[in-house]
Structure 1
Amino acid sequence: MERYRIRPTRGALLALTTTAALLLTACGAGDGSHSSSDSKQSNGLPAPAPSRPQDEDSATTPASDYLSTFALDVDTASYGYARRTLADGERPAPSTVRAEEFVNSFRQDYPTPDHNGFTVTVDGARTTDPNWSLVRVGLATLPQSRLRSTGGTPIADATAERPPAALTFVIDVSGSMDEPGRLDLAKKSLDTMTDRLRDDDSVAIVAFSEHAEKVLPMTRLAGHRGEIHHAVDSLAALYSTNLGEGVETGYATAVEGLRKNATNRVVLISDALANDGETDPDAILKRIDSDRREYGITLFGVGVGSDYGDALMERLADKGDGHTTYVSDTATANRVFCEQLPQNIDLVARDAKAQVAFDPHTVTDFHLIGYRDRKVADEDFRDDRVDGGEVGPGHTVTALYAVHTRPDTEGRLATATVRWLDPETRAPHENTGAMETGALHDSVWTASPRFQVTAVAAYFADELGGGDYRIPGKPGLSTLHSRAAALARTTEDQNVSDLATAIREADPSNAAD
């Protein structure tokens, strides 16, 4: 686990002070916990961020000891798979537990922007460990219903006005997919989704087992729903899993059916238990790299099955400009295919990165909880050639930090900046938020309910991961279950109730609610 201890020097303090001043010229003092926006263009977006020479050695850049930089990530597969494993009476392997995916599985309370970008919210609370706090950096995009068009006019009907979709479904039909809850669940979900997509959307289907086969070329929904249903119904489990050939054929099919002014996406549905052909994710993606870059085709990975190749699917999505989720039952599948996938058809940000600067006057030590596979070199934050994350409308992204503050000090604690590229113009934009030490809540458990849910999810991930995240103030599972159950009642959120259930299943000694 990466951890930072701040070693203040006179030059570094001056550099950080200068950078903070430049970043926050548009920020009001507020209550010390806020988000801020850059000046706006006529299209509602913040003004483009100034470009910098790639070899610039600027005195305004703080020493790396004070910075944390990562690509945004909206994956949730790790949490979904953990829930499935716990429900089956087992614990997930610690290597499959990614704290950021637990945290990002829950609704948040961040304000949404008034433009097609992000708000940045920074808040925090003290833990029971002396001088250690949890600091939450929250990023939010506009819901689909409030997205603005290029001309800046609010869209009244998101379902009618979003760009059409060209979706290539790459479906695993290997023998392992014959288990209940795998191929049968995928087929049922695709049938339901076919009835809900718009007439001007398009669907192609590729199936792969020992070899890959194009089952359906890119086909418009209008007048062809029966044909699509027939193609889905024809899928049957066969032999081994040549995932590499499946992805390659899927991308070739997506390029063949590419639609201009549409969102072109490959949706991979698999248990990711590759055992035939190419199995290395980097090698698989290298074979389709030119298609991915030239045509902007993104990858959405949907994991299924009690035995699941988590590492392979997660690596494919990270390198394929996409993200992953996991489905284990009909309710989750309907949510993914009928709610989340349509939401993810559109993009509001490409290559999005975040950078958090901690103030050495108030902070002695910090570490980012999770995002281990998404770290970016600090100097690459404004290098738009470096890959970031793709984010759609209505998404929130949360990064949680463990922060050790200097006793009896006051002032700026952290400044968070998000940078992204406009999906259409590739123009870079930035927004910034910050918080003061005085805005820290006295206790995690007196902070807002959604902050508490974030903490519970992170603590739970730390427990399942073997304590490797070293989150300060972690309670035992019994106490954590009680917190989650109380929060489920407060928020009236079924997802939080499911979290309480998962915690109880991880610790059989816990009593039922």
Structure 2
Amino acid sequence: MERYRTRRLSAALLALTAAGGLLLTGCSGGESQGSSTADGGKNGDRFPAPDSRHGGGTGEQGGTGDSDSREFAPAPDHLSTFALDVDTASYGYARRTLDEGRLPDPSTVRPEEFVNSFRQDYDRPDGNGFTVTVDGARTDREDWSLVRVGLATRPAPDAGERPPAALTFVIDISGSMAEPGRLDLAKDSLGVMTNRLRDDDSVAIVTFSDEAETVLPMTRLDGNREDVHDAIDSLEPTDSTNLAAGVETGYETAVEGLREGATNRVVLVSDALANTGDTDADTILERISSERREHGITLFGVGVGSDYGDALMERLADKGDGHTAYVSDADDARKVFCDDLPRNIDLTARDAKAQVAFDPATVSDFRLIGYDNRQVADEDFRDDSVDGGEIGPGHTVTALYAVRTRPGAEGHLATASVRWLDPKTRAPHEESGRLEADALHDSLDDASPRLQVAATAAYFADALRDGDDRWNSLPGAPALDDLQEIAEDLAKETEDREVWQLAEAIGWADRLSA
């Protein structure tokens, strides 16, 4: 399937011209009424015209009415539907690869995970579920705008307010995990995390190399922390990687230690370089399907290592009702294990899906960037038996679209809806937001700094895919040296360390691409 494709609202429309518009993907949250009220940028025109070094893309998708996109949106093609996703592993792995002096494989670059890695600026609901924001900005390409759909959950609770957790850690101890920054990093972080979990939380540890072993059955931390630390300290790298055995044994251990009223989760820590036993994600997941479906045990994948099986880990997490992160150093590991994982223990929504309906009277074409592996058939939006995303408190999710409006378009442009199941009762809920043409900012530079950060991250992902015929480049993309300057300006304005790291990574890529 072509990774980026234009959705056409009328079969008679012409293909996109060489003056195609700006498009991106992102992670964020937003205002419930659907129009932006954030302050605009203050540093003038940040996003330059296309440069011959990277750009010149037309934005044309080359699809026709007979393309396989029709399986997702039959004519009239005005709907876009996808499962929510908060993965960030693609960006973390790209940073690690660039820091080591290599450009990442384009197949590992997922634009939405780049944007999902950065904080956004949205209002949040008081209870479970989401706020919905729909806003956007016009671009310097005729009739093209960037439309942002932002979804946000309630703030993460204090540690004492969440349900207890029953966490089964499935830890890769194969020979490849001996490399610095793999098993040693995981052990240190697990030790710190053990000290931060509550007394009423429980932990189990399963290891795998050529075979899998339950090192520690589900153990309540109250009075038993030393036993958990001893089990962590005993981990040493050994032989080959039978990931299937590890996942299967991990889920069996999780079921044996299942706690009613607690959040039961399997945490897979691996470089995902499976070389023994089943190595196909679908086969592995089929072996533990009953545990996932009957007991609601979700999977959190943590990737490590300079050689990393990105595709396998992503598919395991997507199909295992979970998500992925990647750790490359001690700071990443502390953030994932000590900040993100405790935040992800609780759930606010199960099987969450988004659907955006564009008004064919005002919109001629649109494209969703990213979420290539998360597309859902439009007719399945309200089919609650179809898997969506599992989302916890403190999360934001953004989808950005390149939208081509009809000349002189006025009035309604789009309505975005999110549907989810209550994590306890499984009762369905929906929330929506609208966008009117007169709510669009006059330019991207007038939009909020956080929207500009999302744009920069998406352009960076696009640059790393440049030259790969599987994806068309984003139109209007700045050259990498210009993009680095944009990121540096935004880092100063937002005073955000992670945006400085983005500027640094863009600089690495620029030098490697020269």
Structure 2 length-normalised TM: 0.86
Query: Could you say which residue in structure 2 is the equivalent of 1:496?
Result: 499
| Separation in 1, partners of 2:432, 2:126 | 14
Query: Could you say which residue in structure 1 is the equivalent of 2:191?
Result: 191
What SS class does the counterpart of residue 435 from structure 2 fall into?
strand
Query: Could you say which residue in structure 2 is the equivalent of 1:113?
Result: 125
193-202 vs 464-473, which deviates more? 464-473
| Separation in 1, partners of 2:138, 2:477 | 12
| Separation in 1, partners of 2:411, 2:35 | 9
Displacement of 1:360 in angstroms is: 1.1
Displacement of 1:161 in angstroms is: 2.1
Displacement of 1:171 in angstroms is: 0.2
Query: Could you say which residue in structure 2 is the equivalent of 1:242?
Result: 242
Check the 8 A contact 2:102/2:512 in 1, yes or no. Answer: no
Identity over aligned pairs, percent: 70
Equivalent residue letter for 1:76: T
| Separation in 2, partners of 1:456, 1:475 | 9
Query: Could you say which residue in structure 1 is the equivalent of 2:216?
Result: 216
| Separation in 2, partners of 1:471, 1:119 | 29
Q: Structure 1 residues 29, 436: CA separation in 2 closer, same or farther (over 3 Å shift)?
A: farther
**1:423 is aligned to 2:426:** no
Query: Could you say which residue in structure 1 is the equivalent of 2:228?
Result: 228
Query: Could you say which residue in structure 2 is the equivalent of 1:476?
Result: 479
Aligned counterpart in structure 2 of residue 123 of structure 1, from 97, 119, 135: 135
**1:136 is aligned to 2:139:** no
Query: Could you say which residue in structure 2 is the equivalent of 1:17?
Result: none
What SS class does the counterpart of residue 81 from structure 2 fall into?
strand
Q: Structure 1 residues 237, 437: CA separation in 2 closer, same or farther (over 3 Å shift)?
A: same
Query: Could you say which residue in structure 1 is the equivalent of 2:358?
Result: 358
Check the 8 A contact 1:31/1:439 in 2, yes or no. Answer: no
**1:159 is aligned to 2:159:** yes
| Separation in 2, partners of 1:432, 1:200 | 37
Cα deviation code 1:347-381 (max 9, x no counterpart): 00000000001111211111100000000000000
What SS class does the counterpart of residue 274 from structure 1 fall into?
coil
What SS class does the counterpart of residue 65 from structure 1 fall into?
coil
439-448 vs 102-111, which deviates more? 439-448
Equivalent residue letter for 1:78: S
| Separation in 2, partners of 1:339, 1:110 | 20
Equivalent residue letter for 1:499: L
Query: Could you say which residue in structure 2 is the equivalent of 1:99?
Result: 111
Aligned counterpart in structure 2 of residue 508 of structure 1, from 501, 508, 511: 511
| Separation in 2, partners of 1:30, 1:105 | 25
| Separation in 2, partners of 1:489, 1:128 | 25
| Separation in 2, partners of 1:312, 1:509 | 27
Check the 8 A contact 2:466/2:473 in 1, yes or no. Answer: no
Q: How many residues align?
A: 456
Displacement of 1:470 in angstroms is: 3.5
| Separation in 1, partners of 2:404, 2:321 | 34
| Separation in 1, partners of 2:172, 2:142 | 50
Q: Structure 1 residues 234, 293: CA separation in 2 closer, same or farther (over 3 Å shift)?
A: same
**1:88 is aligned to 2:131:** no
What SS class does the counterpart of residue 508 from structure 1 fall into?
helix
Displacement of 1:452 in angstroms is: 0.2
Equivalent residue letter for 1:199: D
Displacement of 1:115 in angstroms is: 2.5
Displacement of 1:30 in angstroms is: 6.8
Check the 8 A contact 2:34/2:133 in 1, yes or no. Answer: no
Query: Could you say which residue in structure 2 is the equivalent of 1:487?
Result: 490
Displacement of 1:2 in angstroms is: 2.7
Check the 8 A contact 1:144/1:343 in 2, yes or no. Answer: yes
Equivalent residue letter for 1:113: P
Query: Could you say which residue in structure 1 is the equivalent of 2:317?
Result: 317
Equivalent residue letter for 1:129: R
Q: Structure 1 residues 2, 181: CA separation in 2 closer, same or farther (over 3 Å shift)?
A: same
- In the TM superposition, 1:386-397 aligns within 5 A as 386-397=386-397
Displacement of 1:130 in angstroms is: 2.0
Equivalent residue letter for 2:116: N
Equivalent residue letter for 1:476: A
356-365 vs 316-325, which deviates more? 356-365
What SS class does the counterpart of residue 373 from structure 2 fall into?
helix
Structure 1 length-normalised TM: 0.86
| Separation in 2, partners of 1:204, 1:483 | 46
Check the 8 A contact 1:122/1:434 in 2, yes or no. Answer: yes
